[in-house]
Structure 1
Amino acid sequence: MLANLNDVLISAQKGKYGVGLFNALSLEMARGIIETAERLQAPVIVGTAEILLPYAPLESVADLLVPMAKRACVPVVVHYDHGLTFEKCILAMKLGFSSVMYDCSTDSYEENVRKTAELTRVAHALGVTVEAELGHVGDNDSSVEGNGYLADPAAYYTEPTQARDFVTRTGVDALAVAVGTAHGAYKMPPKLDFNRIEAIARTIPTPLVLHGGSGLADADFREAIRRGISKVNIFTDINVASAMGAQAAFAAGKRYMTDMVAYQIGAIATAVEEKMHIFGSVGRA
Structure 2
Amino acid sequence: MRKVNPMALVERARHNGYAVGAFNMHNPETTQALIHAAKNSNSPVFLQVGRAIVPHMGLEEAFRMTRRELENSDSEAVIHLDHGTYDEVFLALKLGFDSIMFDGSHLSFDDNVEATRHITAVAHSFGVPVEAELGKIPDAGTDVNWADYYTSVEEAEEFVAKTGVDLLAISVGVFHGIPPTQPLPLDIERIERIRDAVGIPLVLHGASGVPLDDLRAAIGAGVHKLNADTDLRHAFRRGIEQTWALGDRQLEEAMAEGLRLMTQATIQKMNEFGCAGMATPVNDMVMS
What letter matches 2:78 in structure 1?
V
Are 1:188 and 2:189 counterparts? no
Give the deviation of 1:51 after TM superposition.
4.7
Partner of 1:37: 38
Aligned partner letter, 1:201: R
User: How many angstroms does 1:138 deviate by?
Assistant: 1.5
Contact 1:66 1:97 in 2 (8 A): no
CA RMSD of aligned residues (A): 1.6
Scaled by the length of structure 1, what TM-score is found?
Answer: 0.92
Q: Is the 8 A contact 1:136 1:158 kept in 2?
A: yes
Aligned partners of 1:234 and 1:227: how far apart in 2? 19
Within 5 Å, give how 1:210-229 maps onto structure 2: 210-229=204-223
Return closer, same or farther for 1:254/1:273 CA change in 2, 3 Å cut-off.
Answer: farther
Identity %: 36
Residue 137 (structure 1) aligned with residue 131 (structure 2):
no
Separation (CA, whole Å) in 1 of partners of 2:167 and 2:28 = 27
Q: Which residue of 2 aligns with 1:267?
A: 261
Aligned partner of 1:276 in structure 2 is 270
Q: Which amino acid aligns with 2:167?
A: A
Cα gap change, 1:172/1:275 in structure 2, threshold over 3 Å: closer, same or farther?
Answer: same
Query: 2:83: which partner in 1?
Result: 82
Q: Aligned-pair distance for 1:103?
A: 0.6
Q: How far apart, CA to CA, are the structure 1 residues paired with 2:3 and 2:181?
A: 37
Letter of the 1:113 partner, please give it. V
Q: Is the CA contact (8 Å cut-off) linking 2:25 and 2:53 kept in structure 1?
A: no
For residues 20-58 of structure 1, the C-alpha deviation after alignment (integer angstroms, 9 at most, x for no partner) is 111001111111111110111110001222354222221
How far is the alpha carbon of 1:254 from its aligned partner? 5.3
Q: 1:256 matched to which residue of 2?
A: 250
Secondary structure of 1:53's match?
A: helix
Which residues of structure 2 form unaligned runs of 5+?
280-288
Contact conserved, 1:242 with 1:264, CA < 8 A, in 2? Answer: yes
Q: Deviation of residue 189 (structure 1)?
A: 2.1
Distance 2:36 2:52 in 1: 25
Q: TM-score, normalised by structure 2?
A: 0.91
CA distance in 2, matches of 1:193, 1:258: 43
Match of 2:49 in 1: 48
Deviation of the 1:243 alpha carbon: 0.7
Which range is displaced more, 57-66 or 1-10?
1-10
- CA-to-aligned-CA distance 1:178-200 (integer Å, 9 cap, x gap): 10111122122222101111111
Q: Find the aligned partners of 1:224 and 1:19 in 2 and give their Cα distance.
A: 13
Secondary structure of 2:57's counterpart equals coil
State the one-letter code of the partner of 1:49: G
Runs of 4+ in 1 over 4 A off after TM superposition: none
Is the deviation greater in 91-100 or in 192-201? Answer: 91-100
Amino acid at match of 1:182: F
1:110 is displaced (CA, Å) by: 1.0
SS at match of 1:186: coil
Structure 1 residue runs without a partner (length 5+): none
Equivalenced residues, count: 277
Per-residue deviation, 1:230? 0.5
Amino acid at match of 2:66: L
Residues 39 and 158 from structure 1, CA distance in 2 versus in 1: closer, same or farther, beyond 3 angstroms?
A: same
Q: Is the 8 A contact 2:46 2:77 kept in 1?
A: yes
One-letter amino acid of the counterpart of residue 177, structure 1: I
CA contact (8 A) 2:26 2:52 kept: no
Within 5 Å, give how 1:1-285 maps onto structure 2: 1-69=2-70, 71-84=72-85, 86-141=86-141, 143=142, 147=143, 150=144, 152-191=145-184, 192-253=186-247, 255-285=249-279
Q: Does the Cα contact within 8 Å between 2:178 and 2:209 map onto a contact in 1?
A: yes
State the alpha-carbon separation in 1 of the partners of residues 31 and 159 from structure 2: 33
Structure 1 residue 113 displacement after superposition: 0.6
Distance 1:139 1:39, change over 3 A: same
Residue 140 of structure 1 aligns to a residue in which SS?
A: coil
Q: Distance in 2 between matches of 1:136 and 1:51?
A: 18
Describe the shift of the 1:35–1:254 C-alpha distance in structure 2 as closer, same or farther (beyond 3 A). farther
1:74 deviates by 2.8
What's the CA shift for 1:70? 5.2
Kept in 2: contact 1:82–1:102 (CA 8 A): yes
